[in-house]
């Protein structure tokens, strides 16, 4: 995707209207769902359900879709709040509800907190309830634009870092996991944005993407984005990743993040930890690419990150639980959606404000120090 081009869009938004690309149907069908409640019910409840059901997924995309669903609801409200308290109550209770959609990614909590603060601050300056709704809508729309800008910055920082640190003369091959591209963000992507930037700069040989069982975000979504943009790519089974890393073909591993603790421990799609262990063993740099909104400064380590467990059907049935049964009836299942990669295994964190590296001699990152300096 050339700079400025729109490309694939997980979220289509215009003031008063929100459409989500139904990612459960990709790559075979491209269907946009209008997030619209004809019964006069609550649009944010519908959006929360769409997030849980993976119509929209990927930490930044979840945050933006949720924030915009409330913007659309606010614009289309038939009975507008008449007092400041009513307006704030309407916005804040709905944000609280949206935040409970999925537990692991922090981006939605971060967005909701910022939107609450912004509207509470605005309420100190006006007595007009309608104005609070406008402040909310403007702020939610600004998040959409900010995500695209931050992903482009991540892409450029990451491409420079990876090519600068590589020992290989010539084009590089990288391994990635899950889907962190246009489909997981407002556009461009985080880890996949880095890969896009490498490709745009003529530095990419091949990107290897894992299938990312059991939901297959890699084989269905990342592969789809890579083919769509004609980026040289190879799909591998998750179980082939260590063998690939031992083959000498991989110059770097780059993945996204759902929540990064202050020491750099990172929650990301299940299987990320396996990739990091293999990278460590083979001396391959392992990078996490994420916006600052993925950092949870309230957590000192990854120990207290809540890992979402999803339905056993996603494992026992094909097509992410919607196809025929593939596992023996009666088998018990453990289906965590994410795992924690310890900071020790991460070479650097690529953010929209620059690269976070470990202080000399340390096994963990000083993220609070980085944030204070930026």
Q: Could you report how far apart the first and last alpha carbons of the chain are, in Å?
A: 29
Query: What residue number has its CB nearest to ligand MRU?
Result: 256
**Strand, helix or coil at 10?**
coil
Strand positions, DSSP E, 148-279: 172-176, 204-210, 233-236, 252-255, 259-261, 266-269
**Are the beta carbons of 337 and 305 closer than 8 angstroms?**
no
Site mask for ligand MRU (CB under 6 A), range 182-221, x = bound: --xx----x--------------------------x----
Site mask for ligand MRU (CB under 6 A), range 265-304, x = bound: ---xx-----------------------------------
Angstrom distance (rounded) from CA 270 to CA 290: 17
Q: Which helix (H) or strand (E) holds 206?
A: strand 204-210
Q: Report the residue number, 263 or 268, with the smaller CB distance to ligand MRU.
A: 268
Binding residue for ligand MRU, selected from 21, 22, 24, 60, defined by CB under 6 A: 60
Using CB under 6 A as the binding rule, whether residue 11 contacts ligand MRU is answered as no
Q: Report the residue number, 24 or 118, with the smaller CB distance to ligand MRU.
A: 24
Q: Report the residue number, 59 or 207, with the smaller CB distance to ligand MRU.
A: 59
> Closest distance between ligand MRU and the C-beta of residue 113, in Å?
18
Angstrom distance (rounded) from CA 158 to CA 183: 19
Residue listed under structure tokens 């309608």: 130
Q: Report the residue number, 174 or 184, with the smaller CB distance to ligand MRU.
A: 184
Q: Report the residue number, 63 or 137, with the smaller CB distance to ligand MRU.
A: 63
Q: What is the DSSP letter of 161?
A: H
Q: What positions carry a catalytic annotation?
A: 258
Judged by CB under 6 A, how many residues of this single chain contact ligand MRU? Answer: 17
> Closest distance between ligand MRU and the C-beta of residue 51, in Å?
9
Binding residue for ligand MRU, selected from 20, 72, 337, 349, defined by CB under 6 A: 337
Binding residue for ligand MRU, selected from 211, 225, 258, 265, defined by CB under 6 A: 258
Of 270, 214, 212, 269, residue with least CA distance to 236: 212
| Contact window for ligand MRU (CB under 6 A) among 31-39, 78-86, 129-137, 250-258 | 250-258
Binding residue for ligand MRU, selected from 58, 81, 264, 342, defined by CB under 6 A: 58
| Contact window for ligand MRU (CB under 6 A) among 51-59, 222-230, 237-245, 275-283 | 51-59
Query: b vs e for 297-333, b when ≥16 Cβ sit within 10 Å of the residue's Cβ?
Result: eebeebeebebbebebbbbbbeebbeeeeeeeeeeee
Angstrom distance (rounded) from CA 204 to CA 225: 16
CA angle (61 as vertex; 57, 67 as ends), nearest 5: 115
Angstrom distance (rounded) from CA 47 to CA 68: 9
**CA–CA distance from 199 to each of 147, 174, 249, 314, 323 (Å)?**
21, 11, 17, 33, 35
Using CB under 6 A as the binding rule, whether residue 139 contacts ligand MRU is answered as no
Q: Report the residue number, 136 or 208, with the smaller CB distance to ligand MRU.
A: 208
Of 147, 63, 72, residue with least CA distance to 108: 63
Using CB under 6 A as the binding rule, whether residue 24 contacts ligand MRU is answered as no
| Contact window for ligand MRU (CB under 6 A) among 7-15, 57-65, 82-90, 123-131 | 57-65
In the complex, which residues of this chain contact ligand MRU (CB under 6 A)? 57-60, 105, 178, 180, 184-185, 190, 217, 256-258, 268-269, 337
């Amino acid at each position: 995707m050339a700079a400025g081009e729109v490309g694939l869009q997980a979220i289509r938004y215009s003031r008063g209207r929100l459409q989500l690309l139904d990612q459960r149907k990709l790559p075979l069908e491209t269907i946009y769902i209008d997030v619209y409640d004809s019964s006069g019910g609550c649009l944010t409840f519908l959006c929360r359900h769409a997030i849980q059901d993976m119509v929209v997924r990927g930490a930044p995309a979840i945050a933006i879709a949720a924030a915009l669903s409330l913007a659309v609801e606010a614009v289309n409200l038939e009975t507008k709040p008449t007092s400041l308290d009513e307006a704030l109550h309407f916005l804040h209770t709905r944000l609280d509800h949206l935040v409970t959609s999925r537990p692991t990614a922090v981006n939605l909590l971060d967005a909701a907190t910022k939107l609450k603060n912004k509207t509470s601050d605005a309420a100190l300056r006006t007595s007009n309830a309608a104005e609070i709704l406008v402040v909310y809508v403007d702020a939610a729309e600004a998040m959409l634009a900010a995500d695209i800008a931050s992903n482009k910055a991540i892409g450029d920082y990451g491409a420079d870092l990876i090519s600068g640190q590589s020992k290989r003369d010539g084009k590089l091959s990288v391994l990635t996991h899950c889907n962190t591209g246009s489909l997981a963000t407002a556009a461009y992507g985080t880890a996949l944005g880095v890969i896009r930037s490498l490709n745009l700069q003529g530095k990419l040989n091949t990107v290897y993407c894992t299938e990312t069982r059991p939901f297959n975000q890699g084989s269905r979504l990342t592969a789809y984005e890579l083919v769509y943009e004609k980026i040289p790519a190879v799909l591998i089974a998750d179980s082939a990743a260590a063998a690939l890393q031992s083959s000498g073909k991989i110059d770097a591993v780059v993945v996204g993040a759902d929540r990064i603790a202050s020491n750099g421990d990172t929650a990301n799609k299940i299987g990320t930890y396996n990739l990091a262990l293999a990278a460590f063993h083979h001396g391959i740099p392992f990078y996490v690419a994420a916006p600052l909104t993925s950092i949870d400064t309230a957590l000192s380590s990854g120990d207290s990150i809540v890992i979402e467990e999803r339905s056993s059907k996603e494992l026992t049935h094909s097509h992410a639980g919607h196809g025929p049964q593939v596992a023996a009836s009666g088998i018990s299942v453990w289906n965590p959606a994410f795992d924690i990669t310890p900071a020790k295994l991460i070479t650097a964190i690529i953010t929209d404000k620059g690269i976070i590296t470990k202080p000399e001699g340390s096994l963990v990152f000083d993220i609070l120090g980085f944030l204070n300096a930026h």
